[in-house]
Amino acid sequence: MAAAGLDFGTSNTTLGVVAGGRADMVRLEGGEDTLPSATFYHYDGTISVGRAAVAAYVGGEHGRLMRALKSVLGSALMEETTLVGRSRVKFRDVLKRYLAEVKRRGEAAAGQPLTHLVHGRPVHFVDGNPEADRLAETTLDAIARDLGFKEVSFQYEPIAASLDYERQLDREELALIADIGGGTSDFSIVRLGPERAKKAERAADVLASDGVRIGGTDFDRQLSLGTVMPLLGFRSRLARGEIDVPSVYYHDLSTWSAINRLYEPRIHRELVDLERRAAEPQLIQRLMRVVDDERGHALAIGVEAAKIAVAEDGAATVPLDWLEGGLAAAVDHAGLVRHTGELARRIGERVGACLAAAGVTADAIDAVFLTGGSTRLEHVRSAILAAVPEARAVAGNVFGSVGMGLALEAARRYG
């Protein structure tokens, strides 16, 4: 009988377990607290998760990789199936098997069954659709109960991060928590402090929470559409008429959660036809090669790696020589900003909306706590900080604050 806090992220998952009143993060894979939210279905029916799943795919093993499945929550797709070898699996079951493995690893580390769960959630899974939002939470709740959790409750991810941040405070402040992850950007404006931390009921300390469905996977998509997809025929012309080839293939191919749609047999037939009608058939042939060899995730992995390298070092290339000798896409900081600046602007705009909802002006915010992998993007950080120019910027544990906060909350609720 033990309690846990689960941060099931679009890109990464963490789990914190409460034992003897203490919250500790579980080493979910090797020595790492983070487990990439990825599942690889081997064609023999077994699965690998996390880095091992990505490695199986990259190593060319026969099977199907799935990432960013959190993005599917709240949509009708959840009850639909995806083709894996000769059989079809429901997205819901893919999620369940992944989370079952996370729970199993948590129980192995804790040495006892995990029975009580505080589940993280974004402020909005889906923008402007309360119905879909409820459905997403209900689905996660049902999966957790199917997995054997007896008590399941939810907490907003930025509120969880605030609890982790609060531990380092020695006086009271009004903080903006900004959690910019793989799928969503989430904000809370909260009163924090050592005295307040001791209270059991914190609702009055939360002035507002708000979020928008923009995260690192959207930056990946825009960067891919801007730099890699044109090499595969995106925005190229059909031979007759003044029209472009359909853009839907390129959108799916650059969207982590949609890549596998291209492996439906019908798509191959459509592309054969498209190649015949295209003004530059050699570009469509590259697209066909990616689809036929099921290398869509290899492209996405290359683009994400280039984004991270640009954030860290200022420039990078996406190597595509596996697709065609000498082919590559170069990315630098200016290019990254050109293709994804609009996303950063919309994230910054949401800070304004959160301030308005809290009924405070920007200068009332003492500190901005930055967490989530996408806060490593300089233009994202500046868009947020520009909305609260006088606040002190505090860099959080980018991948760990939410999970730790959820475990602290689990200790408070169930410990």
Ligand X SMILES: Nc1ncnc2c1ncn2[C@@H]1O[C@H](COP(=O)(O)OP(=O)(O)OP(=O)(O)O)[C@@H](O)[C@H]1O
Q: Which residues bind ligand X (CB under 6 A)?
A: 9-12, 70, 157, 181-184, 215-217, 304, 307-308, 311-312, 372-374, 376-377, 399
Minimum CB distance to ligand X smaller for 185 or for 288:
185
Minimum CB distance to ligand X smaller for 267 or for 307:
307
SS3 call for 366: coil
* Residue whose C-beta lies closest to ligand X: 216
Minimum CB distance to ligand X smaller for 274 or for 410:
410
In order of 6, 102, 106, 161, 350, the CA distances from 99 in angstroms are 10, 5, 10, 21, 31
Residue 296 binds which entry of Mg ion, ligand X, none, CB below 5-8 Å type-dependent: none
The number of CA neighbours under 13 Å toward the Cβ of 20 is 2
CB 411, min distance to Mg ion, A:
20
Residue 50 binds which entry of ligand X, Mg ion, none, CB below 5-8 Å type-dependent: none
CB 37, min distance to ligand X, A:
6
Minimum CB distance to ligand X smaller for 9 or for 405:
9
Residue 215 binds which entry of ligand X, Mg ion, none, CB below 5-8 Å type-dependent: ligand X
Residue 11 binds which entry of Mg ion, ligand X, none, CB below 5-8 Å type-dependent: ligand X
Minimum CB distance to Mg ion smaller for 140 or for 284:
140
Task: Answer whether 71's CB lies under 8 Å from 126's CB.
Answer: no
Q: What angle do CA 403, 406, 409 make, to 5 degrees?
A: 155
Residue 139 binds which entry of Mg ion, ligand X, none, CB below 5-8 Å type-dependent: none
Residue 384 CB burial class (10 angstroms; 0-12, 13-18, ≥19)? buried
* Residue whose C-beta lies closest to Mg ion: 181
Torsion of CA 194, 195, 198, 200, to 10 degrees: -130
Q: Under the rule (CB under 5 A), what is the footprint of Mg ion?
A: 9, 181
Minimum CB distance to Mg ion smaller for 74 or for 181:
181
Minimum CB distance to ligand X smaller for 272 or for 330:
330
Residue 312 binds which entry of ligand X, Mg ion, none, CB below 5-8 Å type-dependent: ligand X
CB 113, min distance to ligand X, A:
26
CB 412, min distance to ligand X, A:
21
**Distance of alpha carbon 13 from alpha carbon 38, whole angstroms:** 9
Q: What angle do CA 405, 180, 227 make, to 5 degrees?
A: 150
Residues pairing with 261 in the sheet = none
Positive or negative, the CA dihedral 158, 163, 164, 168 is: positive
**Structure-block tokens of residue 235:** 């925005």
